[in-house]
Structure 1
């Protein structure tokens, strides 16, 4: 850990150090005077975020300070135009990146079987940002699905790979269907339930999974253990929000309220990007004297990666103090954080520290490295990583294909995209098809992208919406409005479920075609007609367009709708709204107070924007006239 924090020695010249006493006690809490007492920063105090995990007692002994320049202001100060705000564009879901390379998600087989659609939320496409992959990997770390898989014995998997699952998916009333299943004499033990719930989770059909859990609890069909309660809590948080999940904890028997219950709530607070609640839950775990785990620390690192990178230093210090070893996921997040901040040297040093600890990067981590090398225009280094991902035999290393396709496309290597796709083409997986469509789209080869889509249509009887949306986004990026409209009609005619991912594709299609008002109308109708929540990106692309026009009225309306949808605690929408005022050459009265009320604190870029719209700012002329 010491090596990890020392990895950014070159940043120390930037005048940003964090001093934390070695003598501090181990009881951690949230402190609002963090910057004032603990950080020496050459920036105005108003730029710093209040609230951080620090010891309750602080000793300012110069001889005992640790200088944590790696994860403090160096990250923020190095963020250039490329990374400023980009990591938040795609956050919700977070955001956001390609999903982890692990493809055991009950892969839609190549048998032409119908693919069951998502009913609660949809995954985002890989070209949005690395945030979604990290968020999904974070949820996998929670281990609830693994527990369900472990409980499902092999005999049950072979005997009933989908009988109960199919009944549940097709049922209008799941609780009645389960009661009927039992009445007809079918066995309903933990194994059958675990197989069904695992299948639903992997397809993100959380609403149906929650109804199963509720029926089991109401009918006392199973003797609930702590992990069952944690799974129920997780499903409530995903479907109804973490506030409802927090209320459910009070109904759990006290003897079952262990560490896994609170870490499940913590993970969902982080997924909702609610820093205040996440810190409260973390401190509650400390008060209950649960051991500090890598999972809990990883959640905080992931949270601060999105909201305030300077605070990552405190989590790393806590891990060192409590002797908590970083995991592969820890290093993934840190590597992506350094890459987003355009600190390639720091990213490489984290990677070396990771390898020195005996942890080798997986394909997902390698794809993150390659992506940041490409963004930094370090082509040779990117190509070296891609070659390492491929291995000696791409057919034997098939799992890498999904990541390789868009990365080669980003390098403009059409021949390599063609070569990798040829490996998959005879027996493609759905996620590989999506990646191929995106890759051909990036290269501007529309016909090739369409050919992949048509191949999918022939193999599978009914495609999931994300496959349609992949092509829809290609049309949007190339301003092919007519083709996009035809594809949307085809999608509707096929009976495909229309959800947040599709809405996002349609919004982007019309925005790129210059029809912002139409995109706004589509999004508004979607909210009115469905209980599903649109993606953060869907709102922000429209808000950005109003900001470019200097249309403060409509920008404020879109900003308000973002908050109504539950997207709070993010700096990104404030940046866009401020830009609307700047372009309109209109002062933004009380904007700092608005941000403070939402517990949002400006970074350098936003502070500069605030200065431009300050109605009371002093100039050389105003000083003379005064």
Structure 2
């Protein structure tokens, strides 16, 4: 049973770090300023780029040099490492801190440690870590950390059980655990549970900003303008200050409902809250102005970003490229793409895929092929999505040989294929119409090797044989080998 006690201020702060939003960057300045003064522990730890290098070795060397190690410094470094998703080194620091008797660890420290264990070693290890913690550490922050891990892994029953245990322990004193539960139900598509969670939340505490933004996301999924406006009014009644995400959600809801004037008003409020710190807001502005077919404001925001930021991220380039293709301005899109090509060293295939997608959707397959050759020359490695785009393009051109060639390349890009039933159905349907039994058999083999064979696929192969007026090969034995259920045999 969990001990009945209130979390310390530090624990509450650590619990907030474990919310679905990214950790705040407020401490970045402290670490970076120290690093700029010369050789510091923070600088040494943050420059451990490669995962195989050990943070513990750095800490030991620092101590052997006779230098002191302060807990607050390590907490800052851990926060920075988590921000940049360098979880292994952050975990190593936390583990080292546990071995130092002079470092008094609070529940919030254990919560961060548990979160990192879940990310690096998995859920089972996180559960074991929680069980082995001293009772005094099993506070709201550590319970929230384990609840968050359950939510991240989609463990609904365990998450619900943990929430119930927290209720019995008197730990439901903030909105965070309820926000986790709402996020889980939203991610699993179980929207009907969200109102019940909000009702339960109000029994124990008051909604916070994250609650309201999740609630508005729920309204967006329901396409309910009325509900969204009601939620926004409740937000004002609770004196919760909206952020750029709040107005981004409202703008999206209004635009999708065709209420463009209200959508523009929301975008104005959203832009007021965009800043260097809230950089993600600008990408959202680009997308939303493009959805309004507002080229003037799209260009204005992009130019504003050029003045604010020295360099653009791949995500920002991608948003602008997608937005420009919505206006059919492939000339300017290519200018932006060339800018990305010269400025970014990531070679992320998702960026050129925006251009390929445009060409293929417009039926310009030869231009797409030429552009593919160009990006390969520039050492951009085509991804699964790249080849899938070409599969759809060649389907539209009735080029079965190229469809199978690109599908084979697509499947070779992934260790485990996540079945795309729409794609599989489209290819089988195309081959079935042509009566190409050789292609049908080859396609069946490719999907079998990818670990995805269904009864309908076999039925399609049978229909292809029927179309070609040929006797199919023995099907029952092949289906049994594939563990496929018995097909509805087709009269030939």
- Indicate whether the TM-score tops 0.5: yes
Matched with 1:312 is: 194
Maintained 8 Å contact 1:473/1:508: no
Query: Does residue 1:214 correspond to 2:95, yes or no?
Result: yes
Q: Give the 5 Å matches for 1:275-290.
A: 275-290=156-171
Maintained 8 Å contact 1:440/1:449: yes
State the Cα deviation string for residues 38-67 of structure 1 (Å, max 9, x = none): xxxxxxxxxxxxxxxxxxxxxxxxxxxxxx
CA distance in 2, matches of 1:443, 1:579: 40
- Label 1:337 to 1:482 Cα distance change in 2 as closer, same or farther (>3 A): farther
Q: Give the 5 Å matches for 1:116-265.
A: 141=19, 145=23, 149=27, 156=34, 159=37, 160=40, 163-170=43-50, 172-174=52-54, 175-185=56-66, 187-218=68-99, 222-265=103-146
CA distance in 1, matches of 2:122, 2:327: 40
Q: Shift of the alpha carbon at 1:211? A: 2.9
CA distance in 2, matches of 1:429, 1:519: 36
Matched with 2:432 is: none
Maintained 8 Å contact 1:437/1:471: no
Matched with 1:483 is: 371
Matched with 1:531 is: none
Q: Shift of the alpha carbon at 1:424? A: 1.8
Maintained 8 Å contact 1:476/1:509: yes
Query: Does residue 1:546 correspond to 2:430, yes or no?
Result: no
Q: Which has the larger radius of gyration?
A: 2
Maintained 8 Å contact 1:338/1:344: yes
- Label 1:171 to 1:385 Cα distance change in 2 as closer, same or farther (>3 A): closer
- Label 1:147 to 1:506 Cα distance change in 2 as closer, same or farther (>3 A): closer
CA distance in 2, matches of 1:578, 1:374: 42
Q: Where do 5+ consecutive residues of structure 2 fail to align?
A: 1-14, 361-367, 395-402, 430-442, 464-484
Maintained 8 Å contact 1:269/1:277: yes
CA distance in 2, matches of 1:253, 1:147: 30
CA distance in 1, matches of 2:145, 2:237: 31
Q: Shift of the alpha carbon at 1:205? A: 1.9
CA distance in 1, matches of 2:343, 2:90: 28
Q: 2:231 aligns with which of 345, 350, 360?
A: 350
Matched residue SS, 2:234: helix
State the Cα deviation string for residues 496-546 of structure 1 (Å, max 9, x = none): xxxxxx856445544544547745654555437xxxxxxxxx835x34311
Structure with the higher helix share, 1 or 2: 2
Q: Shift of the alpha carbon at 1:295? A: 0.7
Q: Where do 5+ consecutive residues of structure 1 fail to align?
A: 1-136, 494-501, 529-537, 562-576, 587-612, 617-626
State the Cα deviation string for residues 159-187 of structure 1 (Å, max 9, x = none): 45962244321474213344334434555
Maintained 8 Å contact 1:156/1:192: no
Matched residue SS, 2:378: helix
CA distance in 1, matches of 2:256, 2:16: 24
State how many pairs are aligned: 418
Matched with 1:572 is: none
- Label 1:489 to 1:525 Cα distance change in 2 as closer, same or farther (>3 A): same
Q: Shift of the alpha carbon at 1:405? A: 0.9
Matched with 1:425 is: 306
Q: Shift of the alpha carbon at 1:409? A: 1.4
- Label 1:177 to 1:436 Cα distance change in 2 as closer, same or farther (>3 A): same
RMSD between aligned residues:
4.4
